[in-house]
Copies of this chain bind each other. A is one copy, B any other.
Amino acid sequence: MAHDVVRALGYLCLGTRLRRIGEQVQADSQRIMDSLDVPLQAGQYPLLAAISRLGPLSVGELAEALGVTQPGVTRAAGLLTKAGYLKVRKGKDDQRIRRLSLTGAGEALIARSRAEIWPMIEAAVRDVCDGLEGSLIAQLDGLEDALKEKPLHRRAFENEGNRR
Residues of B within 8 A of A3 (CB): 54, 65
CA distance A46 to B28 in the complex (A): 24
- A125: contacting residue among B12, B20, B68, CB under 8 A: B12
Residues of chain A at interface, number, CB under 8 A: 53
Q: Is the CB–CB distance between B11 and A125 below 8 Å? A: yes
Task: Give the distance in Å from the alpha carbon of A144 to the alpha carbon of B14 in the complex.
Answer: 13
In the complex, the answer to whether B45 meets A13 with C-beta atoms within 8 Å is yes
For window 115-151 of A, CB contacts with B under 8 Å fall at 118, 121-122, 125-126, 129, 132, 135-137, 139, 143
Interface of A: prevailing SS: helix
Could you say which of B15, B25, B53, B65 contacts A14, with CB atoms under 8 Å apart? B25
The 6 closest A-B pairs by CB, nearest first: A18-B22, A15-B25, A19-B22, A15-B26, A5-B50, A11-B125
Q: Give me the interface of A with B, judged by CB distance under 8 Å.
A: 1-26, 28-29, 42-43, 45-46, 49-50, 53-54, 64-68, 118, 121-122, 125-126, 129, 132, 135-137, 139, 143
Query: Can you list 10 A-B pairs, Cβ within 8 angstroms, ordered by A?
Result: A1-B64, A4-B67, A12-B45, A12-B125, A16-B26, A16-B43, A19-B23, A19-B26, A20-B67, A129-B136
